[in-house]
Structure 1
Amino acid sequence: MIRVLGFAGSLRRASFNRSLLRAAQELAPEGLEIAAFDLAVVPLYNGDVEAEGDPEGVAAFKQAIREADGVLMVTPEYNHGVPGVMKNAVDWASRPPQSAALAGKPVGLIGASPGMTGSARGQSQLRQAFEFTNSYCMPQPELLVFRAHEKFDADGRLIDEPTAGYLRRYLEAFLEWTRRFTA
């Protein structure tokens, strides 16, 4: 069993990206288990706070990453870029650099947006951060859910069957990608 930690870069309970993470959990292929972590407990990064010891939410987040075989980041795109919530999570998980929780982890990126680019710019910016964290971001396939307001119902359920099919194929590829690093 490959165990992956998933988290959404939006704190809003009814966000499309939280809904996409739930859909990923439901559609995960056999052999892949996705646990969700809520980033609401991770405060803004502050070196002074870090020097006193990781806050409880940060310590739990880092431990969850360390225990996982891989990480699935589900990111929205705000103002043509990665949202602060997601970048903050990466910043905490990259500290301290010599023993970062993200070091050596396979990473998957997916995202949803009401816009036509489906979080492409946000995902692209996140990929740059993985050079520093020495994480292995899966290059292909990509999953960019555009016009997300048409793909989920009012309860946050993925109702668009083509998108569900793309998500299944993405998760199958991510399972194989993660296995490369756990052998």
Structure 2
Amino acid sequence: MTQIGIIVGSLRQAAYSQKVANVLANLLPVQLTPVFIDIGQLPLYNADLDEDDTVPAWQTFRQQLDDVDGLIIVTPEYNRGMTGALKNAFDVGSKRRNHWKHQIALVVSSSPEATGGFGANQQVRQVLVTLNVFPVQRPEVYLGHVNHLFNDQNLMTNLDTLSFLQTAVNAFVALQAKFDPQPADDLNALAIKYEPGRFYINGENGSTLAEIIFHDQQNKRIMVTNTQVSEQLRGQGIAKRLMLRVIRFAQIYHLTIIPDCSYAQKFLEKHPEYQDLFTTN
């Protein structure tokens, strides 16, 4: 399974950057597994301490960079630049040897201000050039007024913003695939879209060809109430892909799933490895 490292530049527990990162992780196709890489545990880089592997956190972080096949970097803007924590992570990962080298990266910035963290975004891109990282060029992603984009459950509900972020994720996936080609049938997963309460595939005329619907049940639970796939898409594992997207959604937001529809119940019977994510009430 191809792993995509997600790095959040803010250390704040309720950071908007983390909320944005969760959205981006949710929008990745199922053949790409998001892995959140914590930079909050990295001591400030000091070359004097790096000669004898005396800082385990640095070595762990470098190994995490080596293990992923692409990066999504989400940064807030502090004084028109990136955070000190993110700059420190770039420094730590570049020493002894360049562990960032030849990675593909999607850079996303956010800010309560209208500019959307433009200064931080451009600063990150400048550093990535030095580190020989290949960032997605278009679309550039600056999320302004980020403090108005989430509801009280930390979910993004604006469909236009979700659609734009999906476009950015698709561009990232397409660029990543050029360096790490996936089988053709896997790339079809790009057709799966997300809206609050459902994942779905539309036909060229806008009609729904497949969808899975889930509802919030409060107390950190969601109920899968319907899964349907049109005749023309059956036999391609589409229902499984839709269910896996719901599972990832639950994992990202620390939810449990109530399998109310027959397909969700059959899926759980066939895949007991996901048992811990499901509940009956």
TM-score band, normalised by shorter chain:
over 0.9
Per-residue CA shift, 1:138-180, capped at 9, x if unaligned?
1111111110010012342222221111111111110111112
Structure 1 Cα separation of the partners of residues 54 and 36 of structure 2: 20
Residue 59 in structure 1 maps to residue 59 in structure 2: yes
Structure 1 Cα separation of the partners of residues 154 and 69 of structure 2: 27
Letter in 2 for 1:142: E
- Cα separation, partners in 2 of 1:116 and 1:45, compared to 1, 3 Å: same
Q: Which has the higher strand share?
A: 2
The aligned counterpart of 1:164 is 162
| 8 Å Cα contact 1:24/1:171 also seen in 2 | yes
Per-residue CA shift, 1:38-94, capped at 9, x if unaligned?
211111111112223262222121111111111111111111111111111111111
Higher relative contact order (CA 8 A, sep 6+): 1
The Cα RMSD (Å) is 1.5
Aligned partner of 2:126 among 116, 125, 128? 128
**1:24 Cα offset (Å):** 1.1
| 8 Å Cα contact 1:29/1:168 also seen in 2 | no
Aligned partner of 1:146 among 144, 160, 184? 144
Unaligned runs of 5+ in 1: none
The aligned counterpart of 1:35 is 35
Structure 1 Cα separation of the partners of residues 174 and 80 of structure 2: 30
Could you state the TM-score of these two structures normalised by the residue count of structure 2? 0.61
Alignment of structure 1 residues 1-183 onto 2, 5 Å: 1-53=1-53, 55-96=55-96, 99-183=97-181
Structure 1 Cα separation of the partners of residues 61 and 153 of structure 2: 27
Structure 2 Cα separation of the partners of residues 30 and 11 of structure 1: 27
User: SS at the partner of 2:50?
Assistant: helix
Q: Looking at CA atoms only, which structure, 1 or 2, has the larger radius of gyration?
A: 2
Structure 1 Cα separation of the partners of residues 24 and 129 of structure 2: 26
| 8 Å Cα contact 1:14/1:156 also seen in 2 | no
Structure 1 Cα separation of the partners of residues 48 and 12 of structure 2: 28
Letter in 2 for 1:133: L
- The number of residue pairs the alignment matches comes to 181
| 8 Å Cα contact 1:16/1:112 also seen in 2 | yes
| 8 Å Cα contact 1:10/1:76 also seen in 2 | yes
Structure 2 Cα separation of the partners of residues 29 and 11 of structure 1: 27
**1:29 Cα offset (Å):** 2.4
User: SS at the partner of 1:41?
Assistant: coil
Letter in 2 for 1:7: I
Structure 2 Cα separation of the partners of residues 161 and 32 of structure 1: 23
**1:32 Cα offset (Å):** 2.3
Could you state the TM-score of these two structures normalised by the residue count of structure 1? 0.92
